Amino acid sequence: MKLAEDLNVILVDWSKLAMTSVLRYFEVAKETTGVGQQVASLVRALIKEELTTLDRVHFIGHSLGAHVGGAFGFTLERAEVGKVSRITGKFLESN
């Protein structure tokens, strides 16, 4: 597959915080804000160094990672960096 443009992908492994039983779901959910803020800090640094712009950022999150995406976008907007071009959140139910 050939892409029309070069891409950079940043993967955030927050499994040590996110891996838990259903009984601790709400405890883990509280961590999504902090993780989103950390990702926003990284993206702010990339923008400051002129390595990217917000119109080229697409955040994709699964399950609680989608909540991380919301916190990420909110943090950038609150810091007056601007709005992210796209945030995609997905939750796939298991059978």
Structure confidence at residue 28 as a pLDDT band (50, 70, 90): confident
Position 72 scores a pLDDT of 94
**Mean pLDDT, residues 13-34 taken together:** 76
Taking a C-beta distance cutoff of 8 angstroms, is the pair 42, 72 a contact? no
pTM of the model: 0.80
Which position has the token pair 């803020």?
Answer: 37
Q: If we measure between CA atoms, which residue out of 78, 77, 67 comes closest to residue 34? A: 67
* Residue 58, helix vs strand vs coil: strand
Residue 61 φ then ψ, to 5°: -135, 145
What ranges do the domains of the chain cover? Answer: 21-90
* Residue 94, helix vs strand vs coil: coil
| pLDDT of 55 above 60 | yes
